[in-house]
């Protein structure tokens, strides 16, 4: 039996495909849910686009991304209020697979639930597969849902 599930979300409709499955599993097992959103480095993203490279601008952008991620998770958590599960949220910054595995360990979850974007060919080569990296880096059960 699972008592605590980590549900990773990336803010996309494909990423949200895991929500009904995780909610059903939590309801059936009376498990808690922790919704996780990873914010990758804002400064690297913006510098590639030619934005101002000042440290204060980077900090402002980073704070904005973190606030938006938390707001997003709170909206999703509100939608899950009817499941009867305790729903928690957490936002982390960094490389997605590494942060997912670290959060799972730190929160002592029993399983990870996530969507896969099912990239193939050059897309997978260029972007990699976060789901695949998580599978290789954790010994926890991972529920994968095709987005």
CATH number where 28 lies: 3.40.50.620
- Give residue for tokens 């976060």: 130
Task: Tell me the mean pLDDT in the region 16-45.
Answer: 88
> Could you tell me which residues are beta bridge partners of residue 88?
34
For residue 32, give both structure tokens: 């808690």
For the whole model, what pTM was predicted? 0.84
pLDDT of residue 56: 67
- Taking each helix axis from N to C end, the angle separating 96-106 and 130-137, rounded to the nearest 10 degrees, works out to 40
Q: What percent of the chain has pLDDT over 70?
A: 81
Which has more confidence, 58 or 20? 20
How far is residue 35 CA from its own chain's centroid?
7
* Domain count within the chain: 1
* Total residues belonging to the chain: 147
Domain of residue 71 covers: 4-146
> Each residue of 6-20: pLDDT tens digit?
999 999 999 999 999
pLDDT of residue 50: 53
pLDDT higher than threshold 70 for residue 122: no
> Could you tell me which residues are beta bridge partners of residue 80?
none
Task: Tell me the mean pLDDT in the region 128-144.
Answer: 90
Supply angle C-alpha 12, 89, 142, rounded to 5.
65
Longest CA–CA separation in the chain, Å: 50
Binned at pLDDT 50, 70 and 90, residue 81 comes out as confident
């Amino acid at each position: 039996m699972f008592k605590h599930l980590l549900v990773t979300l990336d803010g996309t409709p494909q990423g949200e495909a895991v929500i009904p499955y995780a909610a059903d599993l939590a309801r059936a097992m009376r498990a808690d849910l922790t919704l996780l959103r990873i914010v990758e480095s804002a400064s690297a993203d913006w510098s590639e686009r030619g934005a101002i490279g000042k440290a204060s601008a980077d900090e402002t952008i980073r704070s904005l991304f973190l606030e938006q991620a938390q707001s997003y998770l709170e909206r999703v958590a509100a939608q899950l209020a009817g499941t009867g599960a305790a729903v928690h949220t957490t936002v982390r910054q960094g490389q997605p697979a590494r942060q997912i595995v670290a959060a799972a360990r730190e929160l002592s979850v029993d399983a990870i639930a996530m969507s896969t974007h099912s990239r193939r060919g050059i897309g997978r080569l260029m972007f990699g597969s976060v789901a695949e990296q998580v599978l290789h880096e954790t010994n926890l059960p991972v529920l994968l849902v095709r987005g």
